[in-house]
Structure formats: C-alpha cells, structure tokens
Amino acid sequence: MTVSSGKGPPGGDIRRILIIQTAFLGDLVLTLPLTDASGRVWPDAAIDVLARAPYASFLALHPRVQRVIPFDKRGADRGLSALFAGARRLRARDYQLALIPHRSLRSALLAALAGIPRRVGFSRTAGSPLHTDRVPRRLDVHESARNLALLEPFRSQEDGAPETRPRFEIRATPAADEFARWRDSVGLPDGRRMIALAPGSVWETKRWPEAHWAELLARINTDRSLLAVFVGGPEDRELCLRARDASGAEAFIAAGELSVGGSAALIDAAGLLITGDTAPLHLAQMVDTPTLAIFGPTVPEFGFAPTGENDRVIGLDLPCRPCAIHGGSECPLGHHHCMRRLSADYAWNAAARMLSP
C-alpha cells in the first residue's frame, strides 16, 4: 500500500527527475531498473542521478542518465553548510520529482531543502517525514524490485511488470574500449575462457579467506582452457596479489587498473564470475555474466542475490547464519565459520558444473 500526500496528478508536469542514491556501488547498480523504468514512464523527462563521486563516470555511461551529480558525503559535501549549499545547487535545476531509494535522513533533507515538490521515498525511515509520498519497503522481494516500488504512485493498473535486473549496454561504450586497451597492454591470451574473480568487499566478514581464493585459483589453473583474472577496486589490489602469489598459479590482476565501467566490461567478457555478496555480483547481473556467489554472513533472502537462470549461490547451513544484513568488520562469535568452512573444493566443484557444456 502506498501512503501519498496526493499532491499533483500522477505523472503530472514532470520535466526533470532526480534520483538520489549515495550508498555503495552495488546499491547504485541496483537502482538502474528504477532509472530505466522512470525513463519509460516519462520518456521526455531529463533524469539526473546524485551519487557518490567515485561512481560518476560509470553512471554517466547509462543512456537514460542526462547528468550525474557527484556527492562526496565523507569529504567536501559533509556537514550542514555543505548540505545547504548542495540543496541550493539542486534547487537551480528545477526538479519536479525526486525518487529517493537511499534511506538516509541526509538524502531526504537534500530533496526537501532543494524545494522539489514531489519527493517519493520509503516509509518508516529516518527521512520519511520529509517525503510527500511514502512507499512500504517490502522485505520479501529483490532489492531492485523494492526500488521500483517508488514508482507505485504513478503506475496504472495496465502497466506490465517492469524488468528488475539491472541492465545497460556496455559493449559499445568507452568502458569496453578501456578494457580492450588494458587487455592488450597486459597481453591477455586469446582462445581461453576467462574466469573473473572478485575477492574484495567493503565488509570484512563478507570476504572469503585469502587462502581459499589461492586454492581456488590453483584449481582453475589445472584446466589450461581457463584463464583467471582478478577484478575489483584499488582497495582490493593487494588482496588479489597476495592470493595469486600464495597460489603460485597464473592469474592477471585488473583490480585497481580499471574504472567501474572497465571492470563491468571485463566481467561482460568473462564466461563466469566468482564473487562474494558485493558490487561485482551486481555488475555481472547488468551484463548477464553467469555468477557463482559465495554468501557467508548474509543470505539470498535479504534480496541481493543473483537472479539469472545460470547463476548459483553457495553457502553453509549454520545456526548462526545470517548474522547481519550487510556483514560486519568481524564475526560476532569470533570464528567466521560461514566462510572458513566453505572450502575451495566446494566452490570449484560448483564452478566446474557451471562451466560444463
């Protein structure tokens, strides 16, 4: 059920739309179906997205996004004075509608202070009193579907079910060219099936142990038709190097060498992504790359698992799992069994089945 102020007719004179999502990269990727659906509801409207600064160049690749507004919430845009300054800049853009999947008070304040007349966000959040329309956030659906619910105040009964998988064409963009240049610069061999490995995560407990990644890499190298490439951000590079060096096996390291868009193009070219519950998983969904997702402290029921027919999630059935919706910096019980007991053999057997013709 949607709680609405009833201000203005559904889809009234909407010329400019602002989508606010200043959470992590994976959360931003899961906002893409909302961006696409908004473009279908208002095909002539300009859609801008306010997001964290490191993701601006990636989001600018999206064909429905007219402008990306970088927001450095931990730096230059931190504090009340910066909040008011940012709101003044947004006010100058004259938005008629704000869609706010981010559930923070700051995001709600930005839209309200910017004077955006229609502001749609989730109910029962810190900023919900500032929204003009409040939509319940269902916990029994995927995160993309939760975000799409923000369009409920504007949907007619005749509207079909919107696409919930995050998608946009990456193959013919500057990101694909960036990946091609990197591939040529490192001499990535042709004729071998690429397996992308993403061992990093913002949350420490979501990381599968380095020793397991090293063992998995060694098993991948037993099949000379396969080629392993580590992917991730600059913060993941040392982790990837340690795992490769510990295995003594062949692998290329793209972590820290490619932008988010370039990493998405690499994942697009891969035959399989093996990852934790983290951003590369959602990039793989965007480009339809089969994904083996390793879930430890979190579970698919939280709404962040891959949803493709060729995807698979592996995890252990433990009484202490799940322990947190996002994971954490350390295991609450001190043993981290959910990841340590999930062996490289188990993961490799699952991957091998996925790679079979």
Q: Is 121 helix (H, G, I), strand (E, B) or coil?
A: strand
- Residues of the chain within CATH 3.40.50.2000 domain(s) are 3-154, 174-355
Cα separation, 222 vs 244, whole angstroms: 14
Bridge partner residues of 20 (DSSP)? 50
Contacts for 284 with CB less than 8 Å, ≥ 6 apart: 196, 267, 273, 275, 290, 291, 306
Q: For the chain, what percent of residues have pLDDT higher than 90?
A: 87
∠ Cα 62 182 23 (to 5°) = 40
* CATH architecture observed for domain 174-355: 3-Layer(aba) Sandwich (3.40)
- DSSP conformation class of 357: -
pLDDT on residue 12? 65
pLDDT per position as a tens digit, 261-313? 999 999 999 999 999 999 999 999 999 999 999 999 999 999 999 999 999 99
Q: Mean pLDDT across the stretch 56-82?
A: 90
Gap between the Cα atoms of 48 and 301, Å rounded: 31
Query: Could you report the per-residue pLDDT of 317-334, keeping only the tens digit for each?
Result: 999 999 988 888 999 999
- What's the CATH code, domain 3-154? 3.40.50.2000
Q: In 3D, which of 278, 279, 231 has the Cα closest to residue 257? A: 231
**Residue position matching structure tokens 């993701």:** 55
Each residue's pLDDT tens digit, 196-212: 999 999 999 999 999 99
Q: How many residues does the chain have?
A: 357
The pTM of the full predicted model, rounded to 2 decimals, is: 0.92
**% of the chain surpassing 70 pLDDT:** 95
DSSP string, 237-273: HHHHHHHHHHHTS--EE-TTTS-HHHHHHHHHH-SEE
pLDDT at 8 over 50: no
pLDDT (tens digit per residue) in 16-66: 999 999 999 999 999 999 999 999 999 999 999 999 999 999 999 999 999
CB within 8 Å of 238: residues ≥ 6 apart: none
- Of the listed ranges 101-105, 168-172, 261-265, the least confidently predicted one is 168-172
Would the pLDDT of 10 be above 60? no
Instruction: With beta carbons less than 8 A apart as the criterion, state whether 244 and 180 touch.
Output: no
As a whole number of angstroms, the distance between CA 84 and CA 4 comes to 26
Residue 118 to residue 8: CA distance in whole angstroms:
8
